[in-house]
Amino acid sequence: MGLDTVEVVLWAEKTFDLHLPDNEVSLIYTVGEFCDYLSNKLILKHGFKSVPSHETILNQLTIMLIKNYGIKPEKISRDARFIQDLNLQ
């Protein structure tokens, strides 16, 4: 993982109050995989009733990527790969 992707993970840990082990997040390549991973971690921690929807998680991640990295909204989708498509290192 490069600095940008580490910062995305740190953002998610802070935003969602989670611990995201390096050995797990290093296997995630797309925005959709990351949103699914966050949702699953939140379900394990809080149960189904307290978990934001996948759409909400995606929206929060999209806002952060636009604000912090200047990524154009149209480039961000569930299939977008962090390194290849969004040019995060």
Provide DSSP, 4-22. HHHHHHHHHHHHHT----H
Q: Is there a contact between 19 and 13 (Cβ–Cβ < 8 Å)?
A: yes
- The per-residue pLDDT for range 46-80, each reduced to its tens digit, is 887 788 999 999 999 999 999 999 999 999 999 99
Q: At what angle do helices 54-69 and 3-16 cross, to 10 degrees?
A: 130
As a whole number, mean pLDDT of residues 29-40 equals 96
pTM of the entire predicted model: 0.92
pLDDT computed for residue 87 by the predictor: 93
pLDDT computed for residue 79 by the predictor: 97
As a whole number, mean pLDDT of residues 3-23 equals 94
Q: Which two tokens stand for residue 31?
A: 């925005």
